[in-house]
A = this chain, B = another copy of it.
Amino acid sequence: MSSSLPPTTEGTPPGAGAGASTPAFSPLYQQIKGLILHSLQHGEWKPGEAIPSEMELAARFRVSQGTVRKAIDELAAENLVMRRQGKGTFVATHAERQVQYRFLKLLPDTGDARVEGPAQRTILECRRMRASAEIARTLALRTGDVVVQVKRILSFVGVPTILEDIWLPGQAFKGLTAEQMAHYQGPTYAMFELDFGVRMVRAEEKIRAVFPDETQAQWLNIPVATPLLSVERLAYTYNDVPMELRRGLYRTDTHHYHNELS
């Protein structure tokens, strides 16, 4: 409702004296994109729901449909919304059949993933604790802030394949239990959306080859001298706020990490 924006040459704030001269011209559709993003962040429309039609948004923001269209195009390209012709534009969610396990790039060497079905989850641990300096820094918390730590095993066709440690900000994940982690059907990230209103939007991974320690080897039921993929993932919500640190050990004797470059 705070609208009626003419094509503003915004940027360079009023008091920008001798600073760096970034012209910072912001096209209208970017401003519209920002407004839609704001509504997304603040839960005006929930994951899976439809957002207003392009015509409605155009009317709301007093711009043409084409401008709204371009804003939504970018949001769709970033996987924040999903367009479906004839139906509408929907807030993206990790709960959809098609794009389930969007962030899991481990595939079986032969055959397709669907045949294996989803992973079986074994929760080893789920506790609240104070963040170490390292964890705190990574999650943009203060040392000693409460975090939830979850340790779990993912098995495919009965074979333990992934051993994961997950750290979550305690504040946003109040009341997360081992039962919840174990019994929710579908991707963990879908449960995060549903039960905690936390939507993971993008992530970065750092991958190395390592050995497990003795405990880890036992959990995965392998010799300590097995080379494993160490996958450290930092997942972000809107606005580049880190919300999950995940350290995984992947067996790669029957599976591989798959990546597309372009």
**A residues touching B (Cβ–Cβ < 8 Å)?**
77-79, 102-103, 105, 201-211, 225, 227-229, 233, 250, 252, 256-262
Contact = CB atoms under 8 A, between A and B. Distances in A.
Nearest to A257: B207
Nearest to A261: B203
Interface centre among A102, A103, A205, A259 (most CB of B within 10 A): A259
Contacts of A256: 206-208
B262 A201 contact: yes
Q: How many copies does the complex hold?
A: 2
A260 B227 contact: no
B207 A261 contact: no
B204 A261 contact: yes
A256 B203 CA distance: 16
Given A204-B258, A261-B202, A211 B229 contact: no
A259 B205 contact: yes
A202 B262 contact: yes
A-B pairs, 5 with minimum CB distance = A227-B227, A209-B227, A208-B252, A207-B257, A209-B209
Contact of A261 (B103, B208, B227, B261): B103
A209 B228 contact: yes
Given A211-B227, A225-B225, A228-B227, A206 B260 contact: no
A227 B210 contact: yes
A87 B77 CA distance: 26
B206 A102 contact: no
B209 A259 contact: no
